[in-house]
Structure formats: structure tokens, C-alpha cells
Amino acid sequence: MKTKKTESSVSGVPAHHSAVSKSASEHHHLPHHEHQEHHDQHHAPPADELVQISEPLHHHPQEPKSENLFTWWTSCLLALAVIVLIFNQVMISSLAGTGFTVSGFSQSLSLAGGKDLQKVDIDSLKSTGHTVAAVFPVENLKTSDDALAMMFPSGTPDYGGALGGSFDDPVGSLSTLSSMYRGLKAEVEQKNPEAWQRFMNLASKPVGISCEYCCGVGPIGINKNGDSACGCQHNPALLSVALYLTAYTDYSDGEILREVMRWKTLFFPKNMIELGVSVAGGDTSKLNLPGMVGGC
């Protein structure tokens, strides 16, 4: 007896294929919006994948632009700094050409009024007063205060480090300068005879390289051998300044004499300021300064 085939057997399609077809048919006949929603749900990625995908969308690669902008501004600032530095150097150089320097010492002109020290004729100088008039603009002096401001030094000269002397330490500098003359003399006389001869030519003239106010030796402080004419500290100290500047700098004779007069004013303020005012034709009756610094 033949059994009755199921509906599936009759159609020739297996039962599970029939179910799939039915599901597909139902899916096909869904309304459009329900179909779209079902499609989106079917293809939507997991939540963690959404986070990973969305991160690049919120990343804005602006940092390279910021770095480039920073580098550009830095370059501009550095260029500006260089320009300002060059400008300052040019201005300093131009001032130096007119007799002004940062340290207050000029190689060619006097800070106090533009004396051209390159043109000083040492052969025409017959006294310390002549030297003062030659290296300082005494024509501008009216009072002892003017002379003090012009002639009395302060600070440290540009050669002070090498000599170990400072205008701000007159007693200490006096001791240092006076003790070095013998050694300096022997060194220059042996190693630089040309400079030694130039020194002898300058210091053997009555130009005031001496301690004339403490020991009465007059305006010449050396003997024929170049030895100090006095056993005090002031005389060899002034000789040391003159000899060092002659042998180890490019100072002219006029510039050397100016520096010696400054040290001499430091050591003998009363006498030298009186001399400056007298040369200028001023009144020294009210001058109140010490006669000498240091012992004789």
C-alpha cells in the first residue's frame, strides 16, 4: 500500500528549502520602511567597531601646521634679534670713532672734550702743567669741580686687569704698581728694546711721569739707566703705567701721558686739581682735597 507523500514531497523541494523560500517571500513582501530597517539592522557593525571607525573621523591633523607656524615665528624673532645686535654694534662703533667707548677710554680722543691725543708734541712739553693742558681740555674748566670731574678717574681702565690696578682702589693699586716696576723694566729692556727706548725717550722728558709732589724730584722720575729716581711708591707706580702702555699696547705718547696724569691725580688729588684749575686760569683758593694718597 502506497503511503501518501507530504506536501513537500509533492512539490519536489525539501522542507527546509521551502521554509527559506517562505521566509524570503515574506521578507520580500515587507513594507518598504520595514525592509530598510531590517536591512540596516542586518548590516550594522558591532558597537566597538563603530567606535574604532568614528575615531579617525574626529582626528584633525593640525599639529604639523602649528609646528610650522611656531618654527616660522621663531625664525622671525631670531632674525630680529640679530638685526638689533648688529645695529647696536654699529652704533657703538660709531660712538667709539668720536671718542666715546663703553669703558670710558678712547684710543684716539679724550672723553672729556675731544682732545686729539695723536697730535701731542712731547718735545714741546716742559712741565707737568704743560702735559695737563695738552691731554685735558682745560679750556672748558671754570671751577675746581669741573677739574675734578675731568681729571679725577674712577672705575677700572681697559688695561687694569693686566696690571692688577683699579682707580677705585688707589692704595691697593699703588702697592701693586710700584712693586712691579723692576721686573717689568727687566722684561721690556730684554725682550722689546724698541719699546724700552721709546719709554726712555718719553719718561726722561719733563712731562710729569714722577712723584714730584711727595719727594721733590721734579717732573722727571727716572735716571739715565731708567731706574726710579725716588724710593717711594708713587714714582715707580707711575713708571709702571707708562712702561706697560708703551710696551704692551698701541697707545700713542699723548694717550700714555693722559693715563699717567689720571693716576697721578688719583695719588695727588689736591696738587693735580689745583694745577688743572691754575692752567685754565681758575680760582683754587677754595679747593679742599687731600694732598697725597698713600705713604711716601
| Among candidate residues 243, 176, 186, 232, the one with its CA nearest the CA of residue 209 | 243
Cell of 75: 625664525
Neighbours of 36 (CB within 10 A): 11
CA dist., res. 173 & res. 212, Å (int): 19
How far, CA to CA in Å, does 87 sit from each of 23, 76, 135, 145, 191? 90, 17, 32, 36, 42
pLDDT for res 17: 40
pLDDT for res 139: 86
Grid look-up 513582501 returns 29
pLDDT for res 57: 45
Grid look-up 582626528 returns 59
Indicate yes or no: pTM above 0.85.
no
**Residue type present at position 242:** A
pLDDT for res 70: 57
**Splitting the chain (296 residues) into consecutive groups of 10 residues, what average pLDDT does each group show?**
39 40 42 45 46 44 53 72 61 39 38 73 94 91 91 96 96 97 98 98 97 90 97 96 98 98 97 91 49 58
Helices (H), 98-180: 128-135, 144-151, 160-163, 170-179
Would you say how long the chain is, in residues?
A: 296
Neighbours of 282 (CB within 10 A): 18
pLDDT for res 142: 85
Cell of 282: 681758575
pLDDT for res 50: 41
Residues 6 or more apart from 263 whose CB is under 8 A from it?
A: 153, 167, 177, 237, 238, 241
